[in-house]
Amino acid sequence: MNLSSSLTSLRLSECGLKGRFPDNIFPLPNLQLLHVDYNYNLTGSLPTYNWSTPLKSLGLSNTKFPIDLPNLISNLKSLKELHLRNCSFIGSSYPTFLSNLTQITSLDLSYNYFGGQFPCSLLNNAGLTGLDLSGNNFIGQLPNLSTNWTQVSSSNSSSNSESVSQIPSKLVYLSLSQNLLNGTIPSWLYDIPSLQYLYLDNNQLTGQIDEFQHDSLRYLVLSNNNLHGHLPISIAKLVSLLYLDISFNNLSGSVEPNIFTKLKSLSEVDLSHNNLQGHLPISISKLVSLFRLDISFNNLSGSVEPNIFTNLKRLSYVDLSHNNLQGHLPISISKLVSLFRLDISFNNLSGSVEQNIFTKLKSLEHVDLSHNPLLSFHTYSYNIADYTLPKLRYLSLSSCNISEFPHFLKSTENLRSLDLSNNQINGSIPTWLLEVKMDSLYYLNLSYNSLARIGHLPWKNLQFLDLRSNLLEGPLPVPPLYTYFFSVSRNNLTGEIPLLICNLSSLQYLDLSYNHLSNMIPPCLGNLSTCDIGKVHCEFIQKCVPYLKGTGQPNPTIAPDFLIETRMRCQDCNRTTTQPSSPMESLEMNESAVGTSYLQELLSSISSGAGFDAHDCQSLLKGRGLLFADQKLIANEKTARLARVYASDDGLIF
């Protein structure tokens, strides 16, 4: 590469460069700006001397240059901008000599995992405009500064006191997110007239949020801390605010009704996971630029103003779930033509919801109205052409008093998750729904309904199938090949467990309990890679192993290979610290599927005195009993006593 000595600026950021960067560029005599950031496979050697003397701006973020920071700093006397995000440093401790860069105006050392006390000395720079130390492991408190003070102080360590002329009054950008900072937010941060971007999220900050003295802020992110108190009234005057996130804190009290009235530019609001009370502020209706609204997991109550969403044409994401909202679903939702996610689950909404409320919402991908026990969702069959949701991927109408499958499902070929549990659906899955080509469907929950029949399910990629607590009769249905969660407990199924179920090589959870299935366990079940195969029903196990404790006689109906293989599988699974998890953890799978309430119900139905008591069943449900103290162990006189103890006392001796 033959570059003129007159070159003053070279920008090659995000060009997909890889390999070795030419060494002869660094010493170009007039080079003032060199940015090769975000070329993730770019490497090379930085010179130990002979740098371009006038270099003022250097960007090496997200490259593979091995950086000797002390040498770099000592050679760059004119440097004003230094961007070293996610770099490969020689040595990992924080370079204290950076305090010598008193002329620096913009410094990015984010995501380098530096540790130790927060470097207060970096604030000893009246000209500082941008500082990004996010993604490190700095500890301690932010310094308390004042225009009248000449000291930076930290209560964590007297060694953090540094001489400082004044606060960084020109600061525009400050990001200290994802560190280990504690203490309160210092008062000087509320009083910087130029500050536009403030990121203090994912720390351990405490105390209340004070009032902001200026209206310059555009991004305010304080999420994932331990802040408490009220939402500050001064937010109402942040007329330039674009993004507000104070989620995952302990804020309480009511939100001022008019707090958003003047914030015409605000595009995202996240106040979720707090303890906010009172009504949903009516001034939300003034946020004409709003794209995302999340006030979930609070204690909001009262009715939602019917026309609150009428003028919010850009609003695409609404999450008001897990509150105590009452009244009707606001009809103005039908005006949100850009809406792709709507979640108002776990509230106390009432009244009827007509499916035509979604007629114009062709971008809808996620709808969750579940667990509003007084809400009823009407599924009347209108002109099906008017009720299509072509992009719908997730639908949860659990506990919505539905008596039939919603007819708009005819047009949902992209559906991935469908939860209609805890309703009043009876009969069978209609033919028209079985004919919908939903190859993407992997989660189906129809539990706690009154379904009487279930035929072949054509959705070949289904992974989670919950049919428990229905009125299903006849033989056990076999789910699609890739299913790994299958529960059909508490039905009226009869006959044998079909051998086809052994083809489910991905099966991790199988619950056939509380049915009337025959006694034979297919030996091939021992080949399934599962930890929970024991949940086949204690009554069923009682028939196969009439006297588990002290019998000493193998039961001929259970193949020894099945017992040995299952025991080995469970031992392998229990060596890991993680357990098989729900495929839709965000869908909040009811704990009763595998949890305490299910166990209590099961144990209450087992009669003691028959040689198989509640302790044995509890052991089975925890992966013990039959799975570990199998017949081979019991039949062996050397291990029989230990096996009986292990099967009957929940394994507490181990």
Delineate the domains of the chain, giving CATH numbers in brackets: 212-339 (3.80.10.10)
Q: Closest Cα partner for 310 from 333, 342, 339?
A: 333
> Largest Cα–Cα distance of the chain, in whole Å?
96
pLDDT at 642: 45
Provide the pLDDT confidence category of residue 249 given band limits of 50, 70 and 90: very high
pLDDT at 511: 86
pLDDT per residue over 323-346, tens digit each? 999 999 999 999 999 999 999 999
Provide the pLDDT confidence category of residue 594 given band limits of 50, 70 and 90: very low
pLDDT per residue over 639-651, tens digit each? 454 444 444 433 3
Q: Closest Cα partner for 528 from 554, 500, 496, 502?
A: 502
In percent, the amount of the chain with pLDDT more than 70 equals 72
pLDDT at 97: 66
In percent, the amount of the chain with pLDDT more than 90 equals 51
Q: Closest Cα partner for 70 from 104, 101, 35, 45?
A: 101
User: Cβ distance 480 to 456 under 8 Å?
Assistant: no
User: Cβ distance 172 to 129 under 8 Å?
Assistant: yes
pTM over 0.85: no
pLDDT at 27: 84
> Which ranges of 592-637 does DSSP label H, i.e. alpha helix?
596-604, 614-621, 631-635
- Is the model more confident about 529 or about 581? 529
Number of neighbours of residue 141 by Cβ within 10 angstroms: 22
Give the CA radius of gyration of the chain.
32
Average pLDDT score over residue span 126-152: 79
pLDDT at 93: 61
- Type and span of the H or E element at 67: strand 66-67
Give the C-alpha separation, 319 to 333, whole Å: 12
Average pLDDT score over residue span 463-488: 93
To the nearest whole number, what is the mean pLDDT of the chain? 79
User: Cβ distance 360 to 387 under 8 Å?
Assistant: no
Give the C-alpha separation, 390 to 388, whole Å: 6
Bridge partners of 553, per DSSP, are none
pLDDT per residue over 270-306, tens digit each? 999 999 999 999 999 999 999 999 999 999 999 999 9
Exposed, middle or buried by CB within 10 Å (0-12, 13-18, 19+), for 431? exposed
pLDDT per residue over 107-116, tens digit each? 999 999 888 8
| Beta strand 173-175 pairing with 130-132 | parallel
